[in-house]
């Protein structure tokens, strides 16, 4: 085990996969120095600021036998590449009848809390979840980041790995030996019996802090981290809710048609899970506005541990 | 570079195959056997055939929404093409694509693409793959004058030029972006002039002269294979039919203009060349070739009609490639 940061775990995963497989190469508007030094400027290319072209170049290279990684940096820069993401990368395998594989990893940071205002603080993963043909990942720890990123590179499909910018410096134990984490497997980050908190990315850590606070009041919260939004591990989420009878969902994105709405539907449309619910489902999400700049405004918009605690108290009080 | 009479007759056969295939496809669209949309390439055949004749089988191309010609020129199977248009299981895409989305990765045909300019970055990625492999493959992007005004054209050519990718960009300038004349959307009518801004060669040629197309393509392909980077070739041409086969959709182009371009028929020009300049094609041989082509088209329709429709539940197939294993990997 080594204690490394979330960002370093991502960097290590890419380097290890590039060592492992000569077909892996890297495109981004700024080439990561350590990767250039180890693998050279041909495999680790600094590109023009032209994310649309980069995104499509990855599709063509993947269809020609390579395993490209494109780092958009922030998700905000992916929007100029929407045609290539939605019309090309997501559909090309299906539309051409599965003739060849398109193994591509797209990476992008999401989230806020960095006082960068609306265009550089957002969590629009549900927009991409809505597009059939993309796998969508959202790790919350250095361990998950490294294992899932490796799985994503080895996957034969377009995968978008969203990473929480707030977690870049978070440290955690990561094995030094090769390991991967299967996609579509949620992780129970804390076991509990009174309420299930399904939390995403940075909010996993806020939920764990909230659970600690709640434990002081005798409320036992289970924290479930889906880790992978497509495919989503509905079975683990439902099993947890059947056990606790209460569901709070914490997401840094706004609530409208978001991942939290999807998780709520997956839980409640299952008859056994619905029957086990003792209270209405509660979503603890960002307010449905662009993220504002001034600290007081931004903090007001985002959910945090206190809002999760309040959400849990609400469902405990509403119990039947 | 001179083409043997046999090579010229092969080119003629391919051009006529494209034309006959599309005549049948548009008939079958109008009689309801083919669904959705069919965009015909008739009139522009010399571009696809002239360029693809300069390529090897493992070279890659990407096409547009007007893709039948590029498929046929790259060597696609007429049966599987027609079956795809018919929406059948035996089609290239198992009935998932239709006319606008035919691909055959096995012959380096990376697909027709329904988004104008959408294919340009993708085939540029194939060019990057070719460069990383270092085996001398090249990749060719076909697109129209409409696409030349879209971002992916500029972004991709800039990257290909900066990285000296083994690319050839072929603009089929048929003077209209769907219904809109290029005179309304381009201040300067030669798309190839933009090559100068990217530091690459740009040439304007008569796209209805298959010899001019082939010569320009051969030179550009040689340059790409040698590692000297991309070329932008602009082929001035014209489509005879409307933008798309559509009922009750008027074609606003001046009839005299259409007629003028029909006089520049690339197929007739090659036929006359073979007949008169070289005495390499008799009236009878030409008739026989056309009859054979019509029989092939008829056979492709029979093949399509004999293929079952995919079962409805096949709609769920191929969303993702099968679970990856070590065997798939590398």
Q: What percent of chain B has pLDDT over 70?
A: 97
What are the backbone angles phi and psi of residue A275, rounded to the nearest 5°? -65, -30
Model confidence over B59-80: pLDDT tens digits?
999 999 999 999 999 999 999 9
Whether B1 has a pLDDT exceeding 60, the answer reads: no
Instruction: Report the residue from B105, B130, B330 with minimal CB separation from A99.
Output: B105
User: Residue A89 corresponds to which tokens in the numbers above?
Assistant: 């990368």
Residue A144 DSSP one-character state: H
Model confidence over B189-240: pLDDT tens digits?
999 999 999 999 999 999 999 999 999 999 999 999 999 999 999 999 999 9
Longest CA span, chain A: 63
Query: Residues A264, A268, A270, A272: what is their CA dihedral angle, to the nearest 10 degrees?
Result: 130
Model confidence over B287-309: pLDDT tens digits?
999 999 999 999 999 999 999 99
Confidence at residue B278, expressed as pLDDT on a 0 to 100 scale: 72
Going by their DSSP bridges, the two strands A171-174 and A2-5 should be labelled as antiparallel
Classified as helix, coil or strand, A18 is: helix
Model confidence over B202-216: pLDDT tens digits?
999 999 999 999 999
User: Residue B40 corresponds to which tokens in the numbers above?
Assistant: 């015909």
User: Residue A90 corresponds to which tokens in the numbers above?
Assistant: 């997501």
Classified as helix, coil or strand, A183 is: coil
Confidence at residue B246, expressed as pLDDT on a 0 to 100 scale: 82
Contacts for B44 with CB less than 8 Å, ≥ 6 apart: B66, B69, B172, B174, B207, B235, B237, B238, B239, B266
For chain B, where are the alpha helices, taking DSSP H only? 5-30, 45-52, 68-74, 78-85, 119-133, 151-163, 195-198, 210-225, 255-262, 266-272, 283-306
The region, left, alpha or beta by phi > 0 then psi within -120 to 50, assigned to residue A71 is beta
Partner A contacted by B233 (CB < 8 A)? no
| Cβ(A247)–Cβ(A277) below 8 Å | yes
Whether B328 has a pLDDT exceeding 50, the answer reads: no
User: Residue B143 corresponds to which tokens in the numbers above?
Assistant: 């697109």
The residue annotated as part of the active site, out of A26, A93, A120, A300, is A120
What strands, in cross-sheet order, belong to the sheet with A24-28?
A44-46, A24-28, A67-74, A104-110, A158-164, A135-137, A228-230
Instruction: Report the residue from A61, A93, A103 with minimal CB separation from B125.
Output: A61
Contacts for B304 with CB less than 8 Å, ≥ 6 apart: B79, B82, B83, B85, B86, B88, B90, B91
Measured between beta carbons, which residues in chain A are less than 8 angstroms from residue B133?
65
Q: Mean of the pLDDT values across residues B105-118?
A: 97
Partner A contacted by B155 (CB < 8 A)? yes
| Cβ(A56)–Cβ(B120) below 8 Å | yes
Measured between beta carbons, which residues in chain B are less than 8 angstroms from residue A61?
125-126, 128-129, 132
Instruction: Report the residue from B91, B126, B322 with minimal CB separation from A60.
Output: B126
Q: In chain A, what is the straight-line distance between the N-terminal and C-terminal CA atoms, in Å?
A: 45
| Cβ(A249)–Cβ(A313) below 8 Å | no
The half-sphere exposure of A14 on its side-chain side, counting CA atoms within 13 A, is: 27
Query: Residues A145, A150, A153, A156: what is their CA dihedral angle, to the nearest 10 degrees?
Result: -110
* CA separation, residue B104 to residues A63, B18, B67, B75, B244 (Å): 11, 16, 12, 9, 23
**Averaged confidence pLDDT in chain B:** 95
Q: A54: buried, middle or exposed (CB in 10 Å: 19+, 13-18, 0-12)?
A: buried
Question: Does ipTM surpass 0.85 in this model?
Answer: yes
Whether B330 has a pLDDT exceeding 80, the answer reads: no
How many whole angstroms separate alpha carbon B116 and alpha carbon B237?
A: 18
Is the previous residue joined to A231 through a cis bond, with omega within 30 degrees of 0? Answer: yes
What are the residue ranges in chain A where pLDDT is below 70? 319-320
Model confidence over B22-36: pLDDT tens digits?
999 999 999 999 999
The alpha-carbon gap from B322 to the nearest alpha carbon of chain A, in Å, equals 8
Going by their DSSP bridges, the two strands B167-173 and B231-236 should be labelled as parallel
CB contact under 8 A, A68 and B125: yes
């Amino acid at each position: 085990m080594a204690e490394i940061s979330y960002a370093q775990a991502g960097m290590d995963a890419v380097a290890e996969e590039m060592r492992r497989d000569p077909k892996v190469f890297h495109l981004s508007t700024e080439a990561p120095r350590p990767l250039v030094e180890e693998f050279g400027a041909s495999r680790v290319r600094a590109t023009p600021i032209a994310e649309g072209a980069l995104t499509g170049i990855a599709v063509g290279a993947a269809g020609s036998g390579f395993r490209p990684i494109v780092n958009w940096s922030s998700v905000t820069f992916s929007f100029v590449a929407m045609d290539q993401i939605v019309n090309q990368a997501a559909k090309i395998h299906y539309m051409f009848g599965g003739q060849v594989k398109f193994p591509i990893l797209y990476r992008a940071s999401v989230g806020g809390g960095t006082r960068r205002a609306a265009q550089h603080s957002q969590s629009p993963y549900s927009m991409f979840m809505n597009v059939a043909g993309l796998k969508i990942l959202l790790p919350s720890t250095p361990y998950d980041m490294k294992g899932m990123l490796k799985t994503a590179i080895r996957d034969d499909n377009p995968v978008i790995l969203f990473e929480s910018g707030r977690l870049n410096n978070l440290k955690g134990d990561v094995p030094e030996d090769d390991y991967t984490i299967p996609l579509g497997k949620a992780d129970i980050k804390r076991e509990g019996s009174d309420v299930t908190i399904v939390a995403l990315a940075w909010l996993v850590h806020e939920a764990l802090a909230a659970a600690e606070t709640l434990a002081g009041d005798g409320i036992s919260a289970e924290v479930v981290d889906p880790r992978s939004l497509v495919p989503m591990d509905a079975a683990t989420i439902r099993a947890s809710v059947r056990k606790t009878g209460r569901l709070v969902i914490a997401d840094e994105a706004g609530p409208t048609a978001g991942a939290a709405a999807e998780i709520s539907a997956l839980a409640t449309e299952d008859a056994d899970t619905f029957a086990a619910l003792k209270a209405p489902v509660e979503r603890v999400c960002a307010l449905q506005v662009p993220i504002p700049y001034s600290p007081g405004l931004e903090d007001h918009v985002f959910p945090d541990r206190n809002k999760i605690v309040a959400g849990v108290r609400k469902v405990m009080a509403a119990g039947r | 570079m001179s083409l043997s009479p046999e090579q010229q007759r092969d080119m003629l056969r391919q051009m006529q195959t494209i034309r006959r295939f599309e005549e049948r496809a548009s008939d079958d669209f109008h009689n309801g056997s083919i669904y959705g949309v069919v965009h015909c390439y008739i009139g522009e055949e010399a571009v696809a055939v002239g360029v693809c004749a300069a390529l090897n089988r493992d070279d890659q191309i990407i096409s547009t929404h007007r893709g039948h010609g590029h498929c046929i020129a790259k060597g696609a199977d007429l049966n599987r093409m027609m079956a795809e248009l018919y929406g059948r299981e035996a089609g290239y895409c198992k009935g998932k694509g239709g006319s606008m989305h035919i691909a055959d990765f096995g012959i380096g045909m990376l697909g027709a693409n329904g988004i104008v300019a959408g294919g340009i970055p993708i085939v540029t990625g194939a060019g990057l793959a070719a460069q990383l492999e270092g085996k001398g493959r090249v990749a060719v992007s076909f697109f129209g004058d409409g696409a030349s005004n879209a971002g992916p054209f500029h972004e991709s050519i800039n990257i290909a030029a900066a990285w000296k990718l083994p690319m050839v960009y072929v603009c089929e300038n048929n003077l209209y972006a769907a219904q809109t004349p290029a005179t309304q959307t381009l201040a300067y009518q030669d798309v190839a002039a933009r090559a100068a801004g990217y530091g690459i060669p740009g040439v304007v040629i008569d796209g209805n002269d298959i010899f001019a197309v082939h010569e320009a393509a051969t030179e550009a392909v040689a340059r790409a294979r040698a590692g000297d980077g991309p070329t932008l070739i602009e082929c001035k041409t014209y489509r005879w039919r409307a933008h798309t086969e559509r009922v009750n959709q008027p074609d606003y182009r001046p009839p005299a203009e259409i007629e003028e371009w029909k006089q520049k028929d690339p197929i007739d020009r090659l036929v006359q060349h073979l007949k008169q300049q070289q005495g390499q094609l008799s009236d009878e041989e030409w008739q026989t070739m056309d009859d054979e082509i019509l029989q092939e088209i008829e056979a492709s329709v029979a093949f399509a009609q004999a293929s079952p429709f995919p079962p409805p539940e096949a709609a769920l197939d191929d969303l993702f490639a099968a679970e990856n294993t070590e065997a798939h990997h590398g």
